[in-house]
Amino acid sequence: MPIAKVTRISASAPDDVAGLETAIARGDIRPEGILAIFGKTEGNGCVNDFSRGFAAQSLGAMLERHVGAAAREVCLVMSGGTEGGLSPHWLVLERGEGMAEPGPALAIGRAHTAALAPEHLGRMGQVEQVADAVRRAMAAADIADPHAVHFVQVKCPLLTAARIGAAQARGASVATTDTLKSMGLSRAASALGIALALGEVAHGDLADAAIGTDAGLWSGRASCSSGIELMGHEVVVLGMSPVWSGRLAIAHGVMADAIDVAPVKAALAALGLSPDGAGDQIVVLAKAEASRSGAIRGRRHTMLDDSDISATRHARAFVGGVLAGLVGHTELYVSGGAEHQGPDGGGPVALIAPRPL
Amino acid sequence: MPIAKVTRISASAPDDVAGLETAIARGDIRPEGILAIFGKTEGNGCVNDFSRGFAAQSLGAMLERHVGAAAREVCLVMSGGTEGGLSPHWLVLERGEGMAEPGPALAIGRAHTAALAPEHLGRMGQVEQVADAVRRAMAAADIADPHAVHFVQVKCPLLTAARIGAAQARGASVATTDTLKSMGLSRAASALGIALALGEVAHGDLADAAIGTDAGLWSGRASCSSGIELMGHEVVVLGMSPVWSGRLAIAHGVMADAIDVAPVKAALAALGLSPDGAGDQIVVLAKAEASRSGAIRGRRHTMLDDSDISATRHARAFVGGVLAGLVGHTELYVSGGAEHQGPDGGGPVALIAPRPL
Amino acid sequence: MPIAKVTRISASAPDDVAGLETAIARGDIRPEGILAIFGKTEGNGCVNDFSRGFAAQSLGAMLERHVGAAAREVCLVMSGGTEGGLSPHWLVLERGEGMAEPGPALAIGRAHTAALAPEHLGRMGQVEQVADAVRRAMAAADIADPHAVHFVQVKCPLLTAARIGAAQARGASVATTDTLKSMGLSRAASALGIALALGEVAHGDLADAAIGTDAGLWSGRASCSSGIELMGHEVVVLGMSPVWSGRLAIAHGVMADAIDVAPVKAALAALGLSPDGAGDQIVVLAKAEASRSGAIRGRRHTMLDDSDISATRHARAFVGGVLAGLVGHTELYVSGGAEHQGPDGGGPVALIAPRPL
Amino acid sequence: MPIAKVTRISASAPDDVAGLETAIARGDIRPEGILAIFGKTEGNGCVNDFSRGFAAQSLGAMLERHVGAAAREVCLVMSGGTEGGLSPHWLVLERGEGMAEPGPALAIGRAHTAALAPEHLGRMGQVEQVADAVRRAMAAADIADPHAVHFVQVKCPLLTAARIGAAQARGASVATTDTLKSMGLSRAASALGIALALGEVAHGDLADAAIGTDAGLWSGRASCSSGIELMGHEVVVLGMSPVWSGRLAIAHGVMADAIDVAPVKAALAALGLSPDGAGDQIVVLAKAEASRSGAIRGRRHTMLDDSDISATRHARAFVGGVLAGLVGHTELYVSGGAEHQGPDGGGPVALIAPRPL
Q: pLDDT (tens digit, 9 = 90+) per residue, A115-155? A: 999 999 999 999 999 999 999 999 999 999 999 999 999 99
User: Which are the catalytic amino acids of C?
Assistant: 155, 225
Number of residues written out for chain C: 357
Measured distance CA(D254)–CA(D65) in Å, rounded: 39
Strands D2-10 vs C295-296: parallel, antiparallel or unpaired: unpaired
Q: Most B CBs within 10 Å: which of C50, C51, C83, C309, as the mutation test of the B interface?
A: C50
C53 and B54 in contact by Cβ < 8 A? yes
Report the gap between the CA of A48 and the closest CA in chain C (Å). 6
* One-character DSSP codes across C305-353: G-SSS-HHHHHHHHHHHHHHHHHS-S--EEE---TTBSSTT-EEEEEEE
Q: Which stretches of chain C sit within 8 Å of chain A by CB?
A: 44, 46-49, 302, 305-308, 310
What separation in angstroms does the CA of D282 have from each of D86, D249, D267?
14, 10, 12
Q: How far apart are CA A109 and CA B227, in angstroms?
A: 58
- Relative to beta strand A299-300, strand A295-296 is antiparallel
- According to DSSP, residue A181 is labeled H
Q: Are C45 and C80 in contact (CB under 8 A)?
A: yes
**C320, closest residue in chain D (CA to CA):** D318
Determine if residue D313 is labeled as part of a ligand binding site.
no
Separation between Cα atoms, residue C219 and residue C159, nearest integer Å: 24
Q: Does B316 count as an annotated binding residue?
A: yes
Q: Round to whole Å and give the CA distance between D190 and D177.
A: 19
- Determine whether the annotation assigns residue D80 to a binding site: yes
Lowest mean per-residue pLDDT among A198-212, C154-168, D14-28, D208-222: C154-168
**Nearest CA-CA distance, residue A26 and chain C, Å:** 40
Read off the pLDDT of residues C180-236 as tens digits, 9 standing for 90 and up: 889 999 999 999 999 999 999 999 999 999 999 999 999 999 999 988 888 999 999
Pair A286, A350: CB distance under 8 Å: yes
Residues on chain D bordering chain A, Cβ-to-Cβ distance under 8 angstroms: 13-15, 42-43, 48, 50-51, 53-54, 57-58, 61, 308
**Mean pLDDT, residues A105-113:** 97
The alpha-carbon gap from C302 to the nearest alpha carbon of chain A, in Å, equals 9
Is 70 exceeded by the pLDDT of residue B96?
yes
Hey, which residues does C9 pair with through a beta bridge? C90
What pLDDT score was predicted for residue B31? 98
In this predicted model, what pLDDT tens digit does every residue of A56-69 receive, in sequence order?
999 999 999 999 99
For an interface test with B, the pick among C42, C54, C86, C179 (most B C-beta atoms closer than 10 Å) comes out as C54
Q: What average pLDDT does the segment D60-80 reach?
A: 96
Rg value, chain D, Cα: 19
Are A328 and B297 a contacting pair at CB < 8 A? yes
**pLDDT above 90: residue D102:** no
Look at C326 and D325 and tell me if their CB atoms are within 8 Å. yes
Interface test with D, best of B301, B302, B307, B313 (most D CBs within 10 A): B307
CA distance C310 to chain B (A): 12
Q: Which pLDDT score, from 0 to 100, does residue B278 have?
A: 65
Q: Do strands A234-241 and A105-112 pair parallel, antiparallel, or not at all (unpaired)?
A: antiparallel
How many residues belong to chain B? 357
- Asked if D263 contacts D349 with a C-beta cutoff of 8 angstroms, the reply is yes
Contact B84 A44 (CB under 8 A): no
- Res. C127 pLDDT band, cuts 50 70 90: very high
The 10s digit of each residue's pLDDT in A272-290 is 998 765 688 999 999 999 9
pLDDT band at A180 (very low <50, low <70, confident <90, very high): confident
> Phi, psi at residue D111, to the nearest 5°?
-145, 150
Plot region of C45 (φ>0 → left; ψ -120 to 50 → alpha; else → beta): left
Q: Is A291 annotated as a binding residue?
A: no
- Residues A321, B325: C-beta atoms closer than 8 Å: yes
Whether C244 and C263 have beta carbons less than 8 Å apart is answered as no
Domains of chain A: 1-99 (3.30.1330.170), 102-246 (3.30.1330.180), 248-354 (3.30.1330.160)
Contacts of C302 in chain A (CB under 8 A): 48
Give the pLDDT score at C161: 85
Query: Residue D345 annotated as binding?
Result: no
Reply yes or no on whether the pLDDT at A160 is more than 90. Answer: no
Instruction: Report the C-alpha gap between B24 and B106 in whole angstroms.
Output: 22
pLDDT range class, residue A338, cuts 50, 70, 90: confident
Inspect the interface and report whether the beta carbons of C324 and D318 lie closer than 8 Å.
yes
The model's pTM is 0.95
**Any known ligand binding at A353?**
no
Which of the two residues, D349 and B277, has the higher pLDDT score? D349
A225, A245, A291, A310: which is the annotated catalytic residue? Answer: A225
A277 min Cα distance to partner chain B (Å): 9
pLDDT, residue A278, reads 66
Q: What is the per-residue pLDDT for A209?
A: 96
First-last CA distance in chain A: 20
Distances (CA, A) of C83 to A251, B188, B206, C50, C51: 49, 32, 43, 16, 14
Q: What is the pLDDT of residues D104-119, one digit of tens each?
A: 999 999 999 999 999 9
Contact at CB, B50 and C43, closer than 8 angstroms: yes
From D320, D316, D305, D357, select the one nearest D338 (Cα to Cα).
Answer: D316
Q: How confident is the model at residue C277 (pLDDT cuts 50, 70, 90)?
A: low
Q: Over pLDDT 70: what percentage of chain A?
A: 99
CA–CA gap between residue D192 and residue D200 (Å, rounded): 9
Contact by Cβ (8 Å): D36, D77: yes
Answer yes or no: are the C-beta atoms of B167 and B119 closer than 8 Å: yes
Buried b (16+ CB within 10 A) or exposed e, B111-135: bebeebbbbbbbbbbbbbbbbbbbb
Which residues, in sequence order, are bridge partners of residue D154? D224, D235
How do B283-287 and B333-335 pair as beta strands? parallel
Average pLDDT over residues B7-18: 97
Nearest neighbour of B48 by CB, restricted to D47, D305, D310 = D305
Q: How many Å separate Cα A63 from the centre of its chain?
A: 21
pLDDT in tens, A215-232: 999 999 999 998 888 899
pLDDT number for residue C24: 98
3-state secondary structure of B56: helix
> What is the C-alpha to C-alpha distance for residues C151 and A258, in angstroms, rounded to an integer?
48
Q: In what order do the strands lie in the sheet with A149-156?
A: A105-112, A234-241, A149-156, A222-226
Q: Would strands C222-226 and C149-156 be described as parallel, antiparallel, or unpaired?
A: parallel
10 Å CB burial of residue B283 (0-12, 13-18, 19+) is: buried
At A161 the pLDDT is: 85
Q: Is B227 annotated as a binding residue?
A: no
List, in sequence order, every residue forming a beta bridge with C8; answer none if it has no partner: C91
Angle separating helix axes C18-25 and C50-67, nearest 10 degrees:
20
| Pairwise CA distance, residues A107 & A204, whole Å | 30
- Nearest-CA neighbor of B41 among C41, C14, A305, A260? A305
Residues of D carrying an active site annotation: 155, 225
Chain C residues with CB-CB distance to A308 below 8 A: 44, 46, 48
Strand A34-41 relative to strand A75-80: parallel, antiparallel, unpaired? parallel
Dist CA D73 CA D111 (whole Å): 10
Residue D231 CB coordination number (10 Å): 14
d(CA D9, CA D25): 14
Average pLDDT, chain A: 95
Range D8-18 average pLDDT: 97
The residue in chain D having the minimum alpha-carbon distance to the alpha carbon of residue B310 is: D307
Q: What are chain B's partners, defined as 3 or more CB pairs within 8 angstroms?
A: A, C, D
Instruction: With beta carbons under 8 A apart, name residues in chain D contacting C9.
Output: none
What whole-number distance in Å separates Cα of residue D315 and Cα of residue D258? 8
Helix (H, G, I), strand (E, B) or coil at D31: helix
What residues in chain D have their Cβ under 8 A from chain B's Cβ atoms?
44, 46-49, 302, 305-308, 310
Q: Are A226 and A79 in contact (CB under 8 A)?
A: no
Average of pLDDT values for C238-264? Answer: 97
Q: Tell me: the pLDDT tens digits for D246-278?
A: 999 999 999 999 999 999 999 999 999 987 656
Give which of C44, C46, C47, C308 to mutate to test A binding, by max A Cβ within 10 Å: C308
Residues of A with a Cβ under 8 Å from any B Cβ are 10, 12, 42, 44, 82-89, 258-259, 261, 280, 290, 296-297, 299-303, 305-306, 308-309, 313-315, 317-326, 328-331
